[in-house]
């Protein structure tokens, strides 16, 4: 999916370069610049331990005057005190001086090691290099997507083109995140660029709704990072989208965000399967979400998926401790579309055959009905493997 | 600890026998009988998917007329519908008929595979065998503690003798639980026997307070079982404990319960270390407990402990997503008594030396101050190893 060609929205230029933050010598500075003011909305980590770039971005969005987003990988600029705040600001100021805009119109993201100061000389020369490389070509977009990676196996991108009211609108988006490499807590960064015209207030509200059913519905290890950032940048200058067009745009954006969010889980550290948990029959959607999240986080459910074990006792009992109301006598479960538990009663099924199905499919679907209500939610999670444990228990501090 | 001699309280007889529920041929029926009425209090799983024996016990405690507790291992009698309810009742009725008491004065516990009906003929003959073996000797107590095991490496017991108001009081307790073997969800059973005289209302309230700071403060994998049961049985016939004596008894009971709860974590599936998380400075004790529990459940913190990695970024950021108020600028962390993060600022420390200390010690202490409040809590958890994943991802359904 990440290899398909990209519908580049008008008004954006991209670059990804290497400045030397990473010992590996891989790209580590990513830049997105627009020559006209962008509408920008952001959704950020809910962790109370917040990285410096997140603090800065929060204060600068929503906006209708953003001109650039600079990102470094390899260092999260988190838990770095006042020097970290100063460094985040300096990154923005340096970009502003080179592209000719106000420094408050530049956003910044960082991802990588926690608790280490940024090597600012390297970062500054990386920014200069990136500005020189800016281009509105696909290769430049991919380079920018490469340069935000940390432990990701591959770059993660999604793109769409749609017709709204006779106008063609393009969306191109990138993300990073695969879990964590010690002591790297910065799991998730994502930028969605579009040439749609959207009002800042609409963009802001829409991005929250989109995040709720996409990025906020995936988990590798349940550990919310200090740096999570999702940005929507819109370069359109025409009449802002409204009515049906706005709804259609949001629908498209939601589908794109879900695809990108699922890429995070597919690339979860050590993951061999994605599980999709669909909860229905809950008292309301929020309750269904909590139940789905609880099932997704259970190490016993995750290891059952790893082993191709249709272990319904683990799945059903995880729903039972989610702290949300369920009706045990109405609980039913399908694993890979096969009904194996119905209205609180186990059904006979061919365990060996279902196990083989689970092992074959990279995505295992769990459909769990928890009662007679109307609440429902879908959640995606990676499984838990010995590789995850090995990777994260290696001594790295 | 579990091998030390036991102070057997007056009024109890014990037995543990093999009836053939387990394919391994290991003991699987455990019986505790008193010839006089017992005060009995119980604390049970909060999972909404509840095993039949738990439903029955809940309806029969607190009580001042309990005469026996029968337990089988190897089968949880959970998710077994109305036949499961009938089987749990039949176990009690069979014990009652043999020891000569009302069937409502018998309690029952089950642990093992979920979703399978009990082999009742075997269970009944096991009960008959157990009744014949009842004795008030240490070996009988140990046999009873053996017969409630599932994946436990060893039996788990604790015992105390204390003087209260010139009277000698004895407490002997057993527990089982090591995590879960698929599809076995019944993690935790525990019975505390004492010859103290306690009023049922006091026993009930006390057991809730004791469970809150002991059994409810440990986690192997965060998956609350369908069968968890903690019973307090008191055989004393004198004046019920009150005032200072009651306080001292509760203090002793709390210490004993914490020791037994820690045994569960030490024996956590695949565990190589116990981590003790002490949270201070929270807004209140409940908030501290939530933060400690969140840190304890983080796979990234658990794998850091496995690898002997003083990875403070993971520990501090886990506190940040617990959903409880913290003051980031006042956050401090000690790992194995060494201060490595103070008032939101990383300190220099010898990572190799601290890592060696962590690896050497079977218990790793994390002392985390999260602000200026008075709330505090201690929580114990096992680490996360490749053995845990291997054990639980083996195909077993």
Residue B71 has pLDDT above 90, yes or no: yes
Per cent of chain A over pLDDT 70 is: 92
| The pLDDT of residue B3 is above 60 | no
Q: Which residue has the tokens 């595979």?
A: B113
Chain A residues touching residue B299 (CB < 8 angstroms): 221-223, 299, 384, 388, 392
Confidence grade of residue B123 (pLDDT, cut at 50, 70, 90): very high
Q: Is residue A192 predicted with pLDDT exceeding 90?
A: no
Say whether pLDDT at A327 is over 70.
yes
pLDDT at residue B165 in the model: 77
| pLDDT recorded at residue B192 | 82
Of residues B336 and A184, more confidence is placed in B336
pLDDT per position as a tens digit, A99-136: 999 999 999 999 887 788 999 999 999 999 999 999 99
Which member of A300, A307, A326 has the closest CB to residue B395?
A: A307
Q: For residue B386, give the nearest of A47, A307, A386 by CB distance.
A: A386
Distances (CA, A) of A358 to A65, A220, A275, A278, A332: 49, 19, 10, 16, 18
* Residue B48 CA neighbour count, 13 Å, CB half: 20
Domain ranges of chain A: 12-266, 274-393
Where is pLDDT greater, at A257 or B157?
B157
Catalytic residue among B71, B187, B280, B385: B187
Q: Which residues pair with B275 in a beta bridge?
A: B364, B381
State the pLDDT confidence band at B211, using cuts at 50, 70 and 90: confident
Question: Which string of b and e fits A137-147 if b means at least 16 CB within 10 Å?
Answer: ebebbbbbbbb
Whether residues B222 and A299 touch (CB distance < 8 A) is answered with yes
Mean pLDDT of B331-342: 95
The sign one gets for the Cα dihedral B31, B32, B36, B39 is: negative
Q: Is the pLDDT of residue A185 over 50?
A: no
Domain covering B12-266 in this structure, CATH number: 3.60.70.12
For residue B21, what pLDDT band results from cuts at 50, 70 and 90? very high
Determine the distance from the C-alpha atom of residue A389 to the mean position of all C-alpha atoms in its chain, rounded to a whole number: 22
What percent of chain A clears pLDDT 90, i.e. is strictly above it?
A: 46
Cα B277–chain centre separation:
18
Q: Least CA distance to B308: which residue of chain A?
A: A395
Q: Specify the pLDDT at position B318.
A: 87
Among the partner residues A308, A328, A385, nearest to B395 by beta-carbon distance:
A308
Q: What is the mean pLDDT of chain A?
A: 87
Q: Report the pLDDT value the prediction gives residue B5, as an integer from 0 to 100.
A: 82
Per DSSP, what are the bridge partners of residue B69? Answer: B32, B107
Separation between Cα atoms, residue A228 and residue B113, nearest integer Å:
41
- The tokens for A370 are 């928890």
Instruction: Encode pLDDT of B242-292 as tens digits.
Output: 888 888 888 888 888 888 778 878 888 888 999 999 999 999 999 999 999
Kindly tell me if the per-residue pLDDT of B182 is higher than 60.
Answer: no
Class of residue B129 by CB neighbours under 10 A (exposed 0-12, middle 13-18, buried 19+): middle
Residue of higher predicted confidence among A223 and B75: B75
Domain B274-393 top-level CATH class: alpha beta
Half-sphere exposure of A319 (CA within 13 A, CB side): 30
Q: Looking at CA atoms only, how far is residue A171 from chain B in angstroms?
A: 32
- Model confidence pLDDT, tens digit, residues A331-368: 999 999 999 999 988 888 999 999 999 999 999 999 99
Cβ distance B143 to B15 under 8 Å? yes
Q: What is the three-state SS of A135-167? A: ECCHHHHHHHHHCCCCCCCCCEEEEEEEEECCE
Inter-chain contact A297–B222, Cβ cutoff 8 Å? yes
Active site residues of A: 187
Residue B1, pLDDT above cutoff 70: no
In the prediction, which pLDDT does A337 show? Answer: 95
The answer to whether residue A78 neighbours chain B at the CB level (below 8 Å) is yes
Task: Look at residue B187 in the predicted model and tell me its pLDDT.
Answer: 53
Angstroms from A382 CA to nearest CA on chain B: 13
Task: State residue A252's pLDDT score.
Answer: 85
Asked if B342 has any chain A CB less than 8 Å from its own CB, the reply is: no
Task: Give the burial class of B192: count Cβ atoms within 10 A of its Cβ; 0-12 exposed, 13-18 middle, 19 or more buried.
Answer: buried
Q: B369 with B278: CB under 8 angstroms?
A: no
Residue A183 near chain B (CB below 8 Å): yes
Residue A176 annotated as binding site: yes
pLDDT at A188 over 80: no
Residue whose tokens read 């090597």: A119
DSSP A216: G
| Range of weakest confidence among A161-175, A353-367, B346-360, B383-397 | B383-397
Query: Between chains, do B298 and A222 touch, taking CB under 8 Å as contact?
Result: yes
Q: Report which of A307, A164, A190, A312 is spatially closest to residue A244, judged by C-alpha positions.
A: A164
The verdict on A392 touching B (C-beta cutoff 8 Å) is: yes
How many helices (H) does chain A have, and how many strands (E)? 11, 15
Given the structure tokens 């009150």, which residue do they identify? B242
A101–chain B Cβ distance below 8 A for any pair: no
**Max Cα–Cα distance, chain B, nearest Å:** 69
As a whole number, mean pLDDT of residues B347-354 equals: 92
CA distance A81 to chain B (A): 7
Measured between CB atoms, does A54 come within 8 Å of chain B? no
> Residue B180: its pLDDT value, please?
45
B23-68 pLDDT tens trace: 899 999 999 999 889 999 888 877 778 889 999 998 999 999 999 9
Q: Give how far B195 is from chain A: nearest CA, Å.
A: 35
Chain A interface test: which of B78, B392, B394, B396 (most A C-beta within 10 Å): B392
Which of B180 and B225 is assigned the larger pLDDT? B225
Those residues with Cβ within 8 angstroms of residue A216's Cβ, 6 or more apart along the chain or in another chain: none
Kindly determine whether residue B344 and residue A396, on different chains, have CB atoms separated by under 8 Å: no
Check pLDDT > 50 for residue A62. Answer: yes
pLDDT tops 80 at residue A216: no
Query: And the tokens for A15?
Result: 């670059």
Residues of A in contact with B81 (CB under 8 A): 344-345
Say whether A392 and B304 touch across the interface (CB within 8 A).
yes
Percent of chain B topping pLDDT 90: 46
Q: Do B396 and A328 touch (CB under 8 A)?
A: no
How many distinct helices (H) and strands (E) make up chain B? 11, 15
Cβ separation A304–B386 shorter than 8 A? no
Q: Tell me, yes or no, if the two domains A12-266 and A274-393 fold the same way.
A: no
- Put simply, the chain B residues between 281 and 310 with a CB less than 8 A from any chain A CB are 297-300, 303-304, 306-310
Compare A166 and B129 and report the one with higher pLDDT: B129
Given a cut of 90, whether residue B394 has pLDDT beyond it is no
Residue B234 at interface with chain A, using a CB cutoff of 8 Å: no
DSSP H/E element including A40: strand A29-44
Q: Which residues of B touch A318 (CB under 8 A)?
A: 223
Looking at the complex, report in whole angstroms how far the Cα of residue B43 sits from the nearest Cα belonging to chain A: 16
The secondary element (H helix, E strand) that includes residue B111 is strand B106-113
A window 1-20, beta carbon within 8 A of B: none
Q: How confident is the model over B77-102, as a mean pLDDT? A: 94
What residues of B form the annotated binding site for substrate?
150, 176, 187, 269, 392, 397
Chain B closest-CA separation from residue A143 CA (Å)? 29
Q: What span, in angstroms and rounded, lies between the C-alpha atoms of B64 and A180?
A: 54
pLDDT, mean over chain B: 87
A269 annotated ligand binder: yes
CB–CB contacts below 8 A, A to B: 219
Q: pLDDT at position A377, please?
A: 92
Predicted confidence at residue A231, as pLDDT, reads 79
């Amino acid at each position: 999916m990440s290899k398909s060609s990209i519908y580049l929205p008008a008004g954006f230029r991209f670059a990804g370069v290497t400045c030397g933050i990473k010992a590996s010598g891989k790209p580590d500075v990513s830049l997105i610049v627009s020559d006209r003011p962008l509408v920008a909305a952001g959704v950020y980590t809910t962790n109370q331990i917040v990285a410096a770039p997140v603090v800065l971005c929060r204060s600068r969005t929503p906006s209708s005057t953003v001109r650039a987003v600079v990102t470094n990988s390899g260092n999260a600029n988190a838990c770095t005190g006042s020097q970290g705040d100063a460094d985040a600001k300096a990154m923005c100021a340096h970009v502003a001086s080179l592209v000719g805009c106000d420094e408050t119109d530049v956003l910044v993201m960082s991802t990588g090691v926690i608790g280490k100061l940024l090597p600012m000389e390297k970062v500054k020369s990386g920014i200069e290099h990136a500005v020189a490389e800016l281009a509105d070509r696909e290769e430049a977009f991919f380079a920018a997507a490469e340069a935000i990676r940390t432990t990701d196996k591959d770059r993660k991108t999604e793109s769409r083109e749609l017709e709204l009211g006779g106008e063609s609108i393009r969306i191109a988006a990138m993300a990073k995140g695969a879990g964590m490499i010690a002591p790297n807590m910065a799991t998730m960064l994502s930028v969605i660029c579009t040439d749609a015209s959207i009002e800042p207030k609409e963009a802001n509200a829409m991005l929250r709704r989109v995040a709720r059913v996409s990025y906020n519905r995936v988990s590798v290890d349940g550990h919310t990072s200090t740096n999570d950032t999702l940005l929507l940048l819109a370069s359109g200058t025409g009449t802002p989208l409204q009515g049906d067009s706005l709804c259609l745009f949001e629908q498209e954006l939601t589908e794109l965000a879900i695809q990108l969010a699922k890429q995070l889980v597919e690339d979860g550290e050590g993951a061999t399967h994605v599980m999709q948990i669909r909860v229905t029959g809950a008292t309301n959607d929020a309750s269904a979400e909590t139940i789905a999240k609880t099932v997704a986080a259970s190490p016993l459910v995750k290891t059952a998926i790893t082993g191709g074990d249709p272990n319904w006792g683990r799945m059903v009992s995880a729903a039972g401790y989610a702290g949300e109301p369920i009706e045990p006598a109405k609980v039913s479960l399908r694993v890979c579309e096969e009904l194996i538990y119905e209205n609180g009663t186990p059904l006979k099924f061919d365990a060996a055959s279902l196990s083989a199905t689970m092992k074959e499919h990279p995505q295992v679907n769990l459909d769990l009905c928890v009662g007679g209500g109307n609440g429902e939610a879908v959640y995606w999670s990676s499984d838990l493997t010995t590789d995850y444990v090995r990777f994260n228990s290696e001594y790295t501090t």
